[in-house]
A and B are shown apart, each in its own frame.
Chain A
Amino acid sequence: MKAVLRLAALSAWSRRLTLGLTLIAIALAVTLLLAVERIRVDARQSFTQAVSGVDLVVGARTGGVQLMLHAVFHAGTASNNITWDSYRAIATHPAVDWALPLSLGDSHRGFAVLGTSADYFAHFRHGDKEELRFRDGKAFTGVFEAVLGSEVARGLGYRLGDAITLSHGLVERGAEHGDKPFRVTGILAPTGTPVDRTVHVSLESITALHLDWVGGAPLPGVTIPAEFVAKFDLRPKEITAALVGLKQRSDVFRMQRFINQYRGEALLAVMPGVALDELWQSVAMVERTLLAISALVVLVGLAGLAATLLAGLNERRRELAILRALGAGPGQIFVMLTAEGALVTAAGAALGLILLTLGSGLAAPWLLERFGIVLATRLPGSQELALIGAVITTGLLASLVPGWRAWRMSLADGLTPRN
Chain B
Amino acid sequence: MRALTLVTCLLAIALPAQAEKGHVHGEGSLEVVIDKESLSLRLELPLDVAVGFERAARNDKEKAALAAAQQALADPALFAPTPAAGCKAEPARIEMPKFDGNKPVEHADIDATYQFRCATPAALKSVETTIFKSFKRLYRLEARRAGPTGQGAGRLTPKTPALTW
Chain A residues with a Cβ under 8 A of chain B: 36, 39, 43, 48, 52, 55, 61, 63-65, 67-69, 76, 248-250, 252-253, 260, 268, 270-275, 277-279, 281-283, 286, 290, 363, 367, 370-371, 373
Q: Are A249 and B146 in contact (CB under 8 A)?
A: yes
Q: Are A69 and B33 in contact (CB under 8 A)?
A: no
Q: Are B6 and A286 in contact (CB under 8 A)?
A: yes
Total A-B Cβ pairs within 8 A: 114
Nearest-Cβ distance from residue A55 to partner chain B, whole angstroms: 7
Residues of B contacting A283 in the complex (Cβ-Cβ under 8 angstroms): 6-7, 10, 14
Chain B residues with a Cβ under 8 A of chain A: 1, 3-4, 6-8, 10-20, 31, 33-35, 38, 40, 42, 144-148, 150-155
Say yes or no: A290-B3 contact (C-beta < 8 A), given A270-B15, A271-B144, A282-B14.
Answer: yes
Q: How far is the CA of A278 from the CA of B8 in the complex (A)?
A: 13
Q: How far is the CA of A232 from the CA of B32 in the complex (A)?
A: 48
Q: Are A275 and B19 in contact (CB under 8 A)?
A: no
Say yes or no: A39-B4 contact (C-beta < 8 A), given A55-B146, A64-B15, A68-B15.
Answer: yes
Q: Are A249 and B33 in contact (CB under 8 A)?
A: yes
Nearest-Cβ distance from residue B64 to partner chain A, whole angstroms: 33
Q: Are A371 and B4 in contact (CB under 8 A)?
A: yes
Q: Are A277 and B153 in contact (CB under 8 A)?
A: yes
Q: Are A252 and B6 in contact (CB under 8 A)?
A: no
Q: How far is the CA of A63 from the CA of B9 in the complex (A)?
A: 12
Q: Are B11 and A65 in contact (CB under 8 A)?
A: yes
Q: How far is the CA of A278 from the CA of B29 in the complex (A)?
A: 14
Say yes or no: A36-B151 contact (C-beta < 8 A), given A248-B35, A278-B18.
Answer: no
Q: Which 3 A-B pairs have the closest CB atoms?
A: A273-B151, A64-B15, A277-B153
Q: How far is the CA of A268 from the CA of B16 in the complex (A)?
A: 9
Q: How far is the CA of A268 from the CA of B1 in the complex (A)?
A: 29
Q: Are A249 and B3 in contact (CB under 8 A)?
A: no
Q: Are A273 and B15 in contact (CB under 8 A)?
A: no
Q: Are A274 and B3 in contact (CB under 8 A)?
A: no
Say yes or no: A274-B11 contact (C-beta < 8 A), given A39-B4, A286-B3.
Answer: no
Q: Are B35 and A275 in contact (CB under 8 A)?
A: no
Contact of A52 among B1, B31, B42, B150 (CB under 8 A): B150
Residues of B contacting A286 in the complex (Cβ-Cβ under 8 angstroms): 3, 6-7, 10
Q: Are A252 and B33 in contact (CB under 8 A)?
A: yes
Residues of A contacting B31 in the complex (Cβ-Cβ under 8 angstroms): 253
Q: Are B33 and A282 in contact (CB under 8 A)?
A: no
- Residue pairs across A and B with Cβ atoms less than 8 A apart, 13 shown, are A52-B150, A64-B11, A64-B12, A65-B15, A69-B11, A273-B151, A274-B144, A274-B151, A278-B15, A279-B10, A283-B6, A290-B3, A367-B4
Q: Are B146 and A65 in contact (CB under 8 A)?
A: no
Q: Are B150 and A273 in contact (CB under 8 A)?
A: yes
Q: How far is the CA of A272 from the CA of B144 in the complex (A)?
A: 11
Residues of B contacting A272 in the complex (Cβ-Cβ under 8 angstroms): 151
Residues of B contacting A43 in the complex (Cβ-Cβ under 8 angstroms): 4, 7
Q: How far is the CA of A363 from the CA of B155 in the complex (A)?
A: 34
Residues of B contacting A271 in the complex (Cβ-Cβ under 8 angstroms): 18, 144, 146, 151
Q: How far is the CA of A370 from the CA of B7 in the complex (A)?
A: 12
Q: Are B19 and A260 in contact (CB under 8 A)?
A: yes
Q: Are A268 and B153 in contact (CB under 8 A)?
A: no
Residues of A contacting B3 in the complex (Cβ-Cβ under 8 angstroms): 36, 39, 286, 290
Q: Are B33 and A253 in contact (CB under 8 A)?
A: yes
Residues of A contacting B38 in the complex (Cβ-Cβ under 8 angstroms): 250
Q: Are A253 and B12 in contact (CB under 8 A)?
A: no
Task: Considering the complex, give the chain A residue whose CB is closest to the CB of B144.
Answer: A274
Other than A64-B16, A274-B18, A277-B152, give 10 A-B pairs with Cβ distance below 8 A.
A55-B151, A249-B147, A250-B146, A252-B33, A252-B151, A274-B153, A277-B154, A279-B14, A281-B155, A371-B8
Q: How far is the CA of A111 from the CA of B131 in the complex (A)?
A: 50
Residues of B contacting A278 in the complex (Cβ-Cβ under 8 angstroms): 14-15, 17-18, 153
Nearest-Cβ distance from residue B10 to partner chain A, whole angstroms: 5
Task: Considering the complex, give the chain B residue whose CB is closest to the CB of A246.
Answer: B146
Task: Considering the complex, give the chain A residue whose CB is closest to the CB of B15.
Answer: A64
Nearest-Cβ distance from residue A78 to partner chain B, whole angstroms: 16
Nearest-Cβ distance from residue A108 to partner chain B, whole angstroms: 24
Residues of B contacting A367 in the complex (Cβ-Cβ under 8 angstroms): 4
Q: Are A273 and B33 in contact (CB under 8 A)?
A: no
Contact of A63 among B12, B40, B153 (CB under 8 A): B12
Interface hub of B16, B145, B151, B154 (most chain A Cβ within 10 A): B151
Contact of A275 among B18, B20, B34 (CB under 8 A): B18
Nearest-Cβ distance from residue B159 to partner chain A, whole angstroms: 15
Residues of B contacting A39 in the complex (Cβ-Cβ under 8 angstroms): 3-4
Task: Considering the complex, give the chain B residue whose CB is closest to the CB of A40.
Answer: B3
Interface hub of B4, B15, B144 (most chain A Cβ within 10 A): B15
Residues of A contacting B17 in the complex (Cβ-Cβ under 8 angstroms): 278
Q: Are B15 and A67 in contact (CB under 8 A)?
A: yes
Nearest-Cβ distance from residue B54 to partner chain A, whole angstroms: 22
Contact of A249 among B4, B42, B148 (CB under 8 A): B148
Q: Are A250 and B33 in contact (CB under 8 A)?
A: yes
Residues of B contacting A252 in the complex (Cβ-Cβ under 8 angstroms): 33, 146, 151
Nearest-Cβ distance from residue A267 to partner chain B, whole angstroms: 9
Task: Considering the complex, give the chain A residue whose CB is closest to the CB of B145.
Answer: A274
Nearest-Cβ distance from residue A370 to partner chain B, whole angstroms: 8
